[in-house]
Structure 1
Amino acid sequence: MNDLEIAQKAMMWPITKVAANLGLNPDDFEQYGKYKAKLNLDVIADKAPTKHKLILVTSINPTPAGEGKSTVMVGLGDALNLRGLKTVIAIREPSMGPVMGMKGGAAGGGYSQVMPMEEINLHFTGDIHALTSANNTLAALIDNYIQRDNQIGLDPRQIIWKRAIDVNDRSLRNIITGLGGRINGIPREAGFDITAASELMAVLCLATSISDLKQRVGRIIVGYTTEQEPVSVADLGFADAITILLKEALKPNLAQTLAHTPAIIHGGPFANIAHGCNSVLATKAALTLGDYTVTEAGFGSDLGAEKFLDIKTPVLGRTPDAIVVVATVRALKYNGGQKLGELTNEDLEALRKGMPNLLRHIANMQQYGYQPVVAINRFTSDTQAELELIKQECAQINVTAVVANSWAKGGAGTLDLADAVVSATANPVSFQPLYDHNDPIESKLQTVVTKTYGGSGIVLSAQAKRQLRRISDNGWANLPVCIAKTQYSFSDDPQQLGAPAGFEVTVRELIPKIGAGFIVALTGSIYTMPGLPATPAAVNMHIDAEGKVEGLF
């Protein structure tokens, strides 16, 4: 059976039972149908007990062969519960852009899935729609402000706030608004981001309360005056209105896995063009309600994990107790030069050539003070010799590598990994951030490129240099950097597989996200509005007269 068929045959518990097992009473949550709920914010402790363990799951660079990071994460949560450890998983909610495009869903797979899979991958509880509406309401208010009196003198040529939509639509990257005469507004250049890359998504995911959400919304920079002064949402008087639109979306969502492990699913920023982590409130909720929390960061350690550790943990107020790096035999062989159509064939030489990719991801986590556990996500085509090669290579650097059969066997196939992770959480961690937030922006970018990517340095475009001066002049240089980069390579070139070195990363633009609390660096040819592939996943989706869906994955 495929993922969807497994999900459709699953027997879910009513969400009231899942909540009761967490010690929640009916006043602690609001039901969204029979199998979903939103947690009230007052059940979330500001600081969870220190004995509660936080486990971060990351991976090697993704390939067309698939890595199954979410599948392993769900399986790990289920396995910890099978070991009698009260565990809650905290993950991002999927964007419909990738679901309808190329990547597919983000609810795990096989017998390690979160449920209800179809709803989670589509509209879920409407949080992303609320973010889209709030984002575009702000855009409309800005245009109306300019059309009316524009007392502040906001320059239509320097508005940096974009509209948003939760779909991959390259034709909306650059648009002209206000055409058709004065009654229709002032013509100006504009554009769309995908909702997952909007600043409001990051704001929602990093906010710790409604008050903090309002303050962050108010700090968002929407543009500049004709005198080059920054203009914020608070300056225009719109912070309360936008916060009101997001007050329900701020509450984390409660669902379950196939094995009924509680799953808190909230926020969905991409890791290649945003900061790639589920909400701080979701992670805090999981830490409050469970003894073990398993969470993930998007794509490889060079993107999601770096942003989790350098952007999210200062807001969360704690760092992980253990880190898992997910790898697959076939992805490493692909990085080692084996062709996509031949990955089911044993090729130890290609596997050896691809191992440097995994080893660099391990080294990335070691420089923060961790000795990560490697999870080898098993596929049916993997041979014993290939699995043993990965274990041996990891053993040579004193890293434990464990085979996880999460897709086929769920938690029961992930018990060895659970045991290794529990052991890892017992080891003290001397956490070392990658950089000091007070370092200059250029220095922080250089540090990430050289220490995490393995490159030789950065190249700033003329536009990025101008933006860097503006960022420094406005006192924003002490913020962390969020680098938007291809997920397929350590470099900014998706064709450079394995573990390339000595390359330079070109920074095209530097965009201040003051509400979120970081500076976005756009590199290479990365876009904050993705495009659809030649054959979108939507083409293979079907629904029958009874409403049964096929082709969703």
Structure 2
Amino acid sequence: MKLPSDLEIASQAPLVPIADIARAAGIPEEHLEPYGRFVAKVNVKARGDLARQPRGKYVVVTAVTPTPLGEGKTATSVGLAQGIAKIGKRSMLALRQPSMGPTFGIKGGAAGAGYAQVIPMESLNLHLTGDFHAVTAAHNLLAAMVDNHIYQGNALNLDPQTVAWRRVMDVNDRALRNVIVGLGEAADGVPRQTGFDITAASEVMVILMLATGLKDLRGRLGRIVVGYTRSGEAVTAEQLRAAGAMAVILKDAINPNLMQTLEHTPALIHAGPFGNIATGNSSVLACQLGIHAAEYLITEAGFGADMGFERFVNVKCRVSGMQPDAAVLVVTVRALKMNSGRHRVVPGRPLPPAMLEENPADVLAGADNLRAHIAIVRSVGVSPVVAINAFPGDHDSEHEVIRQIAREAGARVAVYRGVAGGGEGARELAQAVVEAADEPQDFRYTYDLALPLKAKIEAVATKIYGADGVDYTPEASRALKNFEALGYGEFPVVIAKTHLSISSNPKLRGAPKGWRLPVREVRLAAGAGYVYAICGDMRTMPGLPSHPAAENIDLDEDGNVTGLF
């Protein structure tokens, strides 16, 4: 039987007043800042009161290398939280806020799916409480102050050719990837080439995600490097006297947003950094609050275990001081069939008919990808649970192949049917996760921060991706040497690469061997607190497809949203 649309399911669901959701999670009402009846911000001051409650188990949801359509990590996270509640445990979610770019583009919203959703889903997928707009405004204020500083005499001797601080907006618009500002009369500014990124790619968004409080937020904003002087010295937001005003714009955005699932499980929604060029995780603050508000806190890391999960471990966990008790690895039949190299999946198009046919051999041919991701989770000392996200067109024989692969690799495995069945459809997975989280873990980072930057990049490339080594352009090598000279050598690293392969080449499927990671450029995110290496052509401002989702979104006569998915 065909399910109603996500929006239809969400719009028909009964909502519990948000004060009741908070009360069930032990969040004192004085720390709530309501945004209507069903959404509230939780003041970060609640962390002190919640810390007196026992610490729950910490579970991170990741995935195998996904198809361009995504494999349902958010839906699995939501359903898992509901499933844990079904087996008599208190649970909570900590998720990223969706960007409106994908919502209006190809992928659609990110509130979950079917009967595993966070509601009200239209609020979550659109403006929510305005955090993304606050990040946009704070980021663009700094951009304006950079150009104004150059126009007003450039007392800091900032070299315009080195300015790396572009502008942002939360809509896909390829026409803004490269622009020239300052054209017109002399009073209109100093002409220079720049461009726009999507708000989820902003360093300010990562800072919001990693900040542990207002003081830390303010300090990180001040450390943002916008460019360099002609003698090579870093120019910061603090020197431009912009950081204070940026912090004021973000003073409410730092508070996580409290919502609920279809089954009234509490969900903290906060921050939304990109998963391929940034950290791809929800906020540290949401997790620090949520870990004391439930017996099990479920969070999600963007894309596969080689991407968001690696950054969860080596960046987020270092800041939060928290360590995971289990990791859920979402896998689908279609993802493994794609990783067999026998099928091609195109964004915005239906799956190839041959991919929908019963074919356990194709699943087995893509199994190396699953094995590699299980190994990544194990490499940091965390117990993996493989969640087979079941789609209507799947076949039992194909699921059985996945079960066998997972068991041979020493992982627990469960079929997840939460999209169609809600919490009931996630009971098997919930039980497996509870068992895994009760095991003693041997958590460890992939690298030591005292290592040189190149050694850290090479550790991720070889230990996580399976590369034979790393090749740097001369420009990248010079940049790394310069960052160490400027005092940023003990930062963790983020590697910006494709999410469609464990390697840096999106065409390489499965678990590629005999390749080297090419680092063509290295950039500094001093406020966020990491150095990131760019491998390949990474788009920080997506474009719209020929028929974007926005074409179908509208209001009915009663003011209800239609066409959102």
List alignment gaps of at least 5 residues for structure 2.
344-350
Give the C-alpha shift of residue 552 in structure 1.
1.4
Q: After superposition, where does 1:26-37 map in structure 2 within 5 Å?
A: 26-37=29-40
Instruction: Tell me, in whole angstroms, the C-alpha distance in 2 between the residues paired with 1:535 and 1:48.
Output: 51
Q: SS in structure 1 opposite 2:291?
A: helix
Contact 2:386 2:413 in 1 (8 A): yes
Is the CA contact (8 Å cut-off) linking 1:394 and 1:401 kept in structure 2? Answer: yes
What is aligned with 2:540? 528
For 1:71, which of 71, 75, 82 is the aligned residue?
Answer: 75
CA separation of 1:328 and 1:263: change in aligned 2, threshold 3 A? same
Structure 2 SS opposite 1:167: coil
Alignment of 1:440 with 2:443, yes or no, is no
Deviation of the 1:266 alpha carbon: 0.3
Structure 1 CA distance for aligned equivalents of residues 280 and 454 of structure 2: 22
Where 1:343 maps in the other structure, the secondary structure is helix
Instruction: Please show how residues 102-121 of structure 1 align to structure 2 within 5 Å.
Output: 102-121=106-125
1:148-187 equivalent positions in 2, closer than 5 A: 148-187=152-191
2:517, 2:105 → 1: CA distance? 27
- What is the match of residue 255 of structure 1? 259
CA distance in 1, matches of 2:506, 2:248: 40
Identify the residue that residue 232 of structure 1 maps to in structure 2: 236
Q: What is residue 455 of structure 1 aligned with on the other side?
A: 467
* Structure 2 residue corresponding to 1:127, chosen from 115, 126, 131: 131
Residue range with higher mean Cα deviation, 540-549 or 491-500: 540-549
1:495 is the counterpart of 2:498: no
- Counterpart contact for 1:48–1:284, Cα < 8 Å: no
Query: Any conservation in 2 of the 1:252–1:281 contact (CA below 8 Å)?
Result: yes
37-46 or 121-130, which deviates more: 37-46
CA-CA distance at 1:333 after TM superposition: 1.4
In structure 2, what is the Cα distance between the partners aligned to 1:78 and 1:502?
42
Distance apart, 1:288 and its partner CA? 2.2
Displacement, 1:531? Answer: 2.1
Specify the alignment match of 1:360 in structure 2: 372
Q: In the alignment, residue 450 of structure 2 is paired with which amino acid?
A: N
Equivalent residue for 2:328, pick from 324, 328, 352: 324
Shift of 1:51: 4.2
Q: Indicate if the aligned counterparts of 2:472 and 2:519 stay in contact, CA closer than 8 A.
A: yes
Is 1:315 matched up with 2:319?
yes
CA distance in 1, matches of 2:552, 2:290: 36
Match of 1:192 among 196, 207, 210: 196
Aligned-pair CA distance for 1:535 = 2.6
**RMSD after superposition:** 1.5
AA in 2 matched with 1:16: A
- In structure 1, give the amino acid aligned to 2:125: N
Structure-2 residue corresponding to 1:220 = 224
**Counterpart of 1:22 in structure 2: which amino acid?**
A
Structure 1 position 17 matched with structure 2 position 20 = yes
Letter in 1 for 2:278: A
1:373 aligned onto 2:385:
yes
Q: Deviations over 1:494-550 (max 9, x none)?
A: 121221122222222211111100012121111222222233222233332322333
**Residue 520 of structure 2 contacts residue 534 of structure 2 at CA under 8 Å; is this kept in 1?**
yes
- The partner residue of 2:360 within 345, 348, 351 is 348
* Contact 2:270/2:286, CA 8 A, preserved across alignment: yes
> TM (normalized to structure 1)?
0.97
Equivalent position SS for 2:187: helix
Is 1:93 matched up with 2:97? yes
User: 1:47: Cα distance to partner?
Assistant: 5.7
Letter in 2 for 1:499: A
In structure 1, C-alpha distance between the alignment counterparts of 2:62 and 2:180, rounded to whole Å: 40
1:335 aligns to what? 339
130-139 vs 80-89, greater mean Cα deviation: 80-89
Q: How many residues align?
A: 553
Aligned partners of 1:74 and 1:113 also within 8 Å: yes
With over 3 angstroms needed to count, the CA separation of the structure-2 counterparts of 1:40 and 1:74, relative to structure 1, is same
Equivalent pair of 1:43/1:285 in contact (CA under 8 Å)? yes
**Contact residue 65 and residue 330 of structure 1 kept, 8 A:** no
Deviation, structure 1 residue 50: 6.5
| 1:309-337 CA distance string (max 9 Å, x none) | 00000111011011110001122112124
Name the SS of the counterpart of 1:222 in structure 2: strand
Larger mean Cα displacement after TM superposition, 391-400 or 364-373: 391-400
Amino acid paired to 1:3: D
Q: Deviations over 1:96-135 (max 9, x none)?
A: 1111111211111000000010110011111000000010
- For each residue in 1:345-382, what CA deviation from the matched residue of structure 2 results, as whole angstroms up to 9, or x when unmatched? 11011010011111100000011012301000111111
Counterpart Cα distance in 2 of 1:418 and 1:63: 25
Give secondary structure in 2 for the equivalent of 1:288. coil
Shift of 1:65: 5.0
SS in 2 for 1:150: coil
After alignment, is 241-250 or 324-333 more displaced?
324-333
SS of 1:325's equivalent? strand
**Partner residue, 2:425:** 413
Separation (CA, whole Å) in 2 of partners of 1:405 and 1:479: 41
Q: In the TM superposition, what whole-angstrom CA distance separates every residue of 1:27-50 from its partner, at most 9, and x where no partner exists?
A: 111100111000011111496766
DSSP-derived class of the 1:151 partner: coil
1:144 aligns with 2:148: yes
What is the aligned partner in structure 2 of residue 485 from structure 1? 497
Matched, 1:44 2:47: yes
Once the two structures are TM-superposed, the CA of residue 3 in structure 1 deviates from its matched residue by 1.1
User: What code does the residue aligned with 2:25 have?
Assistant: L
1:211–1:445 distance in 2 versus 1, CA, 3 Å: same
For 1:236 and 1:393, locate their aligned partners in 2 and report how far apart those are by CA, in whole Å: 55
Q: TM-score, normalised by structure 2?
A: 0.95
What 5-or-longer segments of structure 1 have no aligned partner? none
CA distance in 2, matches of 1:268, 1:520: 18
The alignment partner of 1:157 has SS state of helix
How far off its partner does 1:469 sit? 2.5
SS at match of 1:445: helix
Distance 1:502 1:230 in 2: 38
Q: Distance in 1 between matches of 2:101 and 2:236?
A: 29
Cα displacement (A) at 1:446? 1.4
How far apart, CA to CA, are the structure 2 residues paired with 1:473 and 1:60? 37
Q: In the alignment, what sits opposite 2:530?
A: 518
Do the aligned residues in 2 keep the contact of 1:48 with 1:287 (CA within 8 Å)?
no
Deviations 1:73-115 (A, max 9, x none): 1011011112221111000000011111112111110000000
Q: SS state of the match for residue 41, structure 1?
A: coil
Q: For residue 347 of structure 2, what is the aligned residue in structure 1?
A: none
Moved more, 204-213 or 449-458: 449-458
Q: Name the CA distance, whole Å, in 1 between partners of 2:474 and 2:173.
A: 28
